[in-house]
Every structure is written in C-alpha cells, then in structure tokens.
C-alpha cells in the first residue's frame, strides 16, 4: 500500500553498484530504512542528492509493518522547507546532529509532536544566517523531552548542582562524581529557561560551550541505551566557530 509521509533524512549508505539505502525519520511511521534500487545510476528518476542529512522531504512510500527495508516510490523537497540546501558552513553541525538523531531515534511508529519539533528546528537552521552559539545545546536538551529524560529544572539557592544520573539539581551535600560544577550547572539552568527564538541572546564562552556539550552528551550516554561515541564530534568541535 502506498502512503504519503513527510520525512527527515538521517543518512544513506551505498548498496551494490547502483543502489543505496536511506535511513529516515518519518512523520507517519517513525524510524525507517528504504532501499533505492538503481538510485545511483544516471537513468534513475530518484535523484540521490535528495537524500542528504537532515533534508526535509515529502515522500510516497510502500510500507509493510515488520519489514526491515521499505520502498520509496517518489520523493521531493518538502513544501514547508524555505530553502533546498544548507549552506556549506552549517554542514559540520548538520552531520553532528544527524548522527545524534541516528543513535536515539529508534521507534518504528509515528510521533507527530516529535516530528514537528525536529522539523521546526531544522527549518530554523536552514533559515538563519548565523547560527546561535548555543543552538546545538538547546536542540539536544529539548530533544530529551521526547526521549524520556528531560532535566527537571528545580534549580534554586539550595539546589545549584546538576545531577546527571537523576536529571535534577541537588544541594552540595548530595554531590557525587556525575554532578556538574556550580558554574556549568548555572549555564545549564539558563539554557533550560531559554526558548528557541531567544537562543541568540545566550552568549557563552567557547570553553563553556565545549564543557556543556560534553556534559550533555554524557547525560545522553547515561540515559539513552546504546548511545556510543560520535564519529562526527571531533570534527564538529574543531570546526565549530560559532
């Protein structure tokens, strides 16, 4: 049966001499993999450049529950996408976020709220000329709302230390090895209080950005099963000139 669905491309891999497999998060079916037979041949009607990381697409797909590889009948850029491509200076961020999403998006069923969150943040990234320094941190933190381990923002004068294990702010007397220091905990609290439209107002030092990113990724590793080392992280940090 053919279904229409919106999709966010997570990545693709070559298969055989002329085909490739696309990994996508779809609005209707969640995480899916699609075989594009002959997609790399010159005669193919489906252009391979459509299936780049974090591209938003409208697709007609053949879907059967329980099948490992589905089929794409037709794909085109989403009507909701303001521009077709990310500018070159955004590519390292796009690849980093796509790898994170590939590791944490596992459910094979639709989640309209999650898809809307991802679509809105990707559209923002496409439209903005200069990426806010803390955009990626805000994205990662807010994504945890849908993954089941969003931090409880109970920061107070009595609870100023963020506990990565329990996702809450605690007092000094409860501090342990998986707690952030006061300064980084304060910045995390600030990020939790900041909406996407205001993220440009958050101006952090480069070193704080690096420490916060590592802290949030450690948070993911503690709470998301199978979250392993990111291949794109070192390149992202080296080229991150936000």
The pLDDT of residue 189 is 98
Query: Max Cα separation, the chain?
Result: 67
Would you say residue 194 has pLDDT above 60?
A: yes
Q: How many whole angstroms separate alpha carbon 15 and alpha carbon 214?
A: 34
The pLDDT of residue 85 is 67
The pLDDT of residue 43 is 65
The pLDDT of residue 83 is 54
Q: How do beta strands 70-77 and 30-36 pair?
A: parallel
What is the residue-averaged pLDDT of the chain? 91
Q: How many whole angstroms separate alpha carbon 152 and alpha carbon 29?
A: 30
Q: How many whole angstroms separate alpha carbon 134 and alpha carbon 120?
A: 16
| CA geometry: angle 225, 207, 238, nearest 5 deg | 75
Angle (deg, nearest 10), helices 135-147 and 182-192:
70
Would you say residue 29 has pLDDT above 70?
A: yes
| CA geometry: angle 104, 228, 240, nearest 5 deg | 85
Indicate the SS3 state at residue 182: helix
Which residues have a Cβ under 8 Å from the Cβ of 40 and sit 6 or more positions away?
Answer: 14, 17, 18, 19, 20, 48
The pLDDT of residue 227 is 95
Using a pLDDT cut of 90, give the percent of the chain over it: 73
Would you say residue 44 has pLDDT above 70?
A: no
The pLDDT of residue 88 is 82
The pLDDT of residue 229 is 92
**pTM (predicted TM-score):** 0.93
Indicate the SS3 state at residue 33: strand
Of 121, 143, 123, the C-alpha closest to 196 is 121
Would you say residue 127 has pLDDT above 60?
A: yes
Q: pLDDT tens digit string along 71-115?
A: 998 899 887 765 556 788 899 999 999 999 999 999 989 999 999
């Amino acid at each position: 049966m053919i279904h229409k669905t919106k999709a966010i491309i997570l990545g693709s891999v070559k298969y055989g001499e002329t085909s490739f497999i696309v990994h996508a998060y779809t609005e209707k079916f969640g995480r899916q993999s699609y075989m594009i037979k002959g997609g790399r041949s010159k005669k193919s009607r489906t252009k391979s450049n459509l299936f780049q990381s974090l591209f938003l697409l409208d697709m007609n797909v053949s879907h059967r529950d329980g099948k490992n590889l589905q089929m794409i009948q037709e794909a085109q850029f989403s009507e909701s996408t303001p521009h077709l491509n990310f500018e070159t200076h955004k590519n390292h961020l796009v690849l980093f976020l796509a790898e994170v999403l590939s590791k944490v998006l596992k459910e094979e069923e639709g989640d309209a709220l999650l898809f809307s969150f991802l679509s809105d943040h990707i559209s923002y990234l496409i439209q903005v000329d200069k990426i806010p320094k803390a955009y990626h941190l805000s994205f990662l933190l807010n994504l945890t709302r849908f993954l089941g381990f969003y931090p409880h923002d109970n920061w107070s004068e009595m609870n100023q230390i963020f506990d990565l294990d329990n996702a809450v702010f605690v007092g000094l007397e409860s501090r342990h090895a998986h707690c952030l220091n006061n300064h980084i905990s304060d910045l995390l609290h600030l990020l939790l209080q900041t909406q996407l439209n205001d993220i440009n107002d958050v101006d952090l030092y480069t070193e704080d950005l690096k420490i916060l990113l590592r802290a949030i990724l450690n948070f993911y590793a503690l709470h998301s099963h199978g979250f392993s080392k990111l291949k794109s992280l070192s390149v992202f940090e080296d080229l991150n000139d936000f």
